[in-house]
Structure 1
Amino acid sequence: MAREVESVYGNALFEAAKDEGRLNELFGESESLQEIICGNPELSRVLTHPDIKSDEKLALIDNIFAGRADGLFVETMKLAIDKGHSGHIAGILRFFSDRVMEELKIGRAEVSSAVPLSDIQREKV
């Protein structure tokens, strides 16, 4: 069920971004939003808590992301909350990122170095 929810919303987000020609732009923002949501246990807990009302979750999304995150993401998050899928927001964003990476043939890599990389070296990687 979780994967199905994430794929439906993630695909819709992907198609909207692709139609607007904004895959590259929105890919980076999606990665940042995932870091914010997954990196903030309190935010994740609120979004997944069954006793917190949707109205409160919607207000939280507006307070945190409205005017800061792209409208496609904000509206997708709010739609997921309205439909009772607030616990899947990070997964939806992850699914979107995976689809963009597949479409643009982007791979992930981890770089290990014995010494810190310079800014120029990091940029090249």
Structure 2
Amino acid sequence: MAKLVAGTYGDALFELAVEENLTDSLMEEIQMVQTVLKENGDLEKILMHPEIPKQKKLQVIEEVFKGRISDALTGFLRIVVTKGRYKNLPDIFAYFIARVKEYKKIGVAEVTSAVPLTGEQKRRIEQKLLDTTRYKTMEIDYKVDESKIGGLMIRMGDRIVDSTLRSRLDRLTGGLMKISLESEKEGVQAS
């Protein structure tokens, strides 16, 4: 249900952004709103509290954001609060940002390696991703996980390319276990 809500509201905001040529400015404003909400726990408590009337919440939205963000985003926040969907705001914003990045052909990837990568290795990975996808630019988050032993694991959305030694060893172990079980099974049947 949360994905459906995020998609519905995120699509509406995205369509407005494209129609009004506001994709870049709304991205910046959303990041600012996220920062304000993260740094002001009391504001979030007010907007989430079931006992506080919606009219008071709308007044708080106006006082905090009016003049600091566009009327389009202020109006969107008012709709989200009015419809009682404030708790879905982080998912709505994440969905919107992902849609804008797709629209602008910005790929997002997570690359995990067993050791830190050099600048040249990172450049080659980025170039390979650009060559094998439809993206024009990449945002890559590099992580180190020593348990991977060697190789790389690349995650882009719901796609994963895992060429780590750990995954190869796991597959090899699984294959050997299967062979061992089949051999035992054949031995039992022969008896």
TM interval, shorter chain, is: 0.7 to 0.9
Name the residue aligned to 1:18: 18
1:73-117 alpha-carbon deviations (Å, 9 max, x no partner): 1111101111111222233222211211121123444589xxxxx
How large is the RMSD of aligned CA atoms in angstroms? Answer: 1.9
Which has the larger helix fraction? Answer: 1
Taking every aligned residue pair, what percent have the same amino acid on both sides? 31
The answer to which structure has the higher strand fraction is 2
Would you say 1:101 and 2:101 are equivalent positions?
yes
Whole-Å Cα distance in 1 between the matches of residues 140 and 43 of structure 2?
Answer: 28
Counterpart of 1:7?
7
Other structure's SS at 2:68 match: coil
Between the two structures, name the one with larger relative contact order (CA 8 Å, sep ≥ 6): 1
Please say which structure displays the higher CA radius of gyration. 2
TM-score w.r.t. the length of structure 1 is 0.78
Give structure 2 stretches of 5+ with no counterpart.
109-138, 144-191
Partner letter of residue 81 of structure 2? I
Query: Contact (CA 8 Å) 1:38, 1:90: kept in 2 or not?
Result: no
- Secondary structure of residue in 2 paired with 1:67: coil
Structure 1, gaps ≥5 residues long: 113-125
TM-score if structure 2 supplies the norm length? 0.53
Distance in structure 2 (CA, Å) of the matches to 1:29 and 1:17: 12
Q: Which residue of 2 aligns with 1:119?
A: none
When the two structures are aligned, how many residues end up with a matched partner?
112
Q: Hey, what's the Cα distance between the residues in 2 that align with 1:103 and 1:39?
A: 30
Contact 1:46 1:52 in 2 (8 A): yes
What is the alpha-carbon distance in structure 1 between the residues aligned to residue 74 and residue 84 of structure 2?
16
